[in-house]
Amino acid sequence: MDVFSAIADPLRRELLTRLAAGPARVVDLAAEHPVSRPAVSRHLRMLTEAGLVVADDVGRERHYRLLPEPLVEVRAFAASLERRPPIPESALDALDTEVRRTSRERRLAAPTHTEESA
Amino acid sequence: MDVFSAIADPLRRELLTRLAAGPARVVDLAAEHPVSRPAVSRHLRMLTEAGLVVADDVGRERHYRLLPEPLVEVRAFAASLERRPPIPESALDALDTEVRRTSRERRLAAPTHTEESA
DNA sequence: CATATTGGTAACAACAGAGTTACCTTTCTC
DNA sequence: GAGAAAGGTAACTCTGTTGTTACCAATATG
């Protein structure tokens, strides 16, 4: 389970937010959210696989704790798309022209459309 | 389609990254990625629903363009979990104690476990 | 030691997501 | 105007995810 899929589920995001306030057990999380205990257990397993959560065994209890490191990948992705200045009209025009030129060349030159790399 | 689900798919992330380099058409994106054109078309519809992409109609062509605004929600979520100082051992102990105390109180006081709010 | 509590997992049903091919409409181009 | 190009959608299949209940193992507790 990758980080992006891990945080795609709303309940898992709630669980992470809850764990940000401090460790908790499966029964606690299940009591605080409208899902069964096995459901919480499996969500926690996924979060563990994503490296977002770790469990400290304390006797028969298991204290789940947030591990925010993997979120840097998410932030990096978002940042890479966000930090991009608003494209001026002139640049848009240029890109538009580029698209048209490229497509014409492709139509004239390429017999197959399954070239291996882009 | 919410933003978190939108960026959960690897291909959609690639499409967004590609669109960050400039607008593109469906045929272009389909040629650059190992999926059929209808698949790309539907991914773009989802990205549009998420507000991550917008289409400029140019004749029979449709130029898709990145719209990074919705990503602030993603960054905000990640940041809210990340900006949390490493928890010192003492605090962990305190929280641990808290969990134990709360669970004991709950066991002693609560007859049913299906109270409506937490 | 008997019992309750915690929690993981299996088995199942229901649903959503992602891919494909086939088909249709719209718009260029000759 | 005929044909090619672009693109959206429908229909279908497949797979993964999410939820549930039932069951089992391990550990506290009286």
Average pLDDT for A88-103: 48
CA B89 centroid distance within chain: 32
> B3-41: per-residue pLDDT in tens?
999 999 999 999 999 999 999 999 999 999 999 999 999
Write out the CATH class of domain A3-66.
mainly alpha
Residue A82 and residue B95: Cβ atoms within 8 Å? no
Average pLDDT over residues B66-89: 85
pLDDT at A38: 98
Phi then psi dihedrals of residue A54, to 5 deg: -140, 150
> Which nucleotide has the least CA–C1' distance to B104?
C5
Residue B102 CA to residue B114 CA, distance in Å, equals 16
Alpha helices (H) in chain B, listed in sequence order: 3-6, 10-20, 26-32, 37-49, 71-82, 89-109
Task: Say whether pLDDT at B115 is over 50.
Answer: no
Highest mean pLDDT among A35-39, A79-83, A88-92: A35-39
Query: Is B20 within 8 Å of A82 (Cβ atoms)?
Result: no
Where does residue A23 rank: exposed (0-12), middle (13-18), buried (19+ CB within 10 A)?
buried
Q: Inter-axis angle of helices A71-82 and B10-20, to 10 degrees? A: 30
**A27-59 per-position pLDDT tens digit:** 999 999 999 999 999 999 999 999 999 999 999
Domain boundaries, chain A: 3-66, 71-109
Closest Cα partner for B17 from B4, B32, B39, B35? B32
Å: B118 CA to C25 C1':
54
A45 touches strand C (CB under 7 A): yes
Give me the pLDDT at residue B92, please. Answer: 47
Find the nucleotide nearest B45 (Cα to C1′). Answer: D8
pLDDT at A61 over 70: yes
pLDDT value of position B83: 79
Strand C interface, B 31-70, C-beta < 7 A: 34-36, 38-39, 42-43, 46, 59-60
- The closest nt to A8, taking CA to C1', is D17
Structure confidence at residue A23 (pLDDT): 98
Give CA–CA dist B55/B76, Å, rounded. 26
What SS3 state is found at B99?
helix
pLDDT at A84: 59
Collapsing DSSP to helix, strand or coil, A65 comes out as strand
For chain A, list the strands marked E by DSSP.
Answer: 53-58, 61-66
Mutate to test the interface with A, among B1, B4, B98 (most CBs of A within 10 A): B4
pLDDT of residue A86: 55
A73 closest CA partner among B8, B41, B30:
B8
pLDDT (0 to 100) of residue A115: 34
Residue B84: which of A13, A20, A63 has the nearest Cβ?
A20
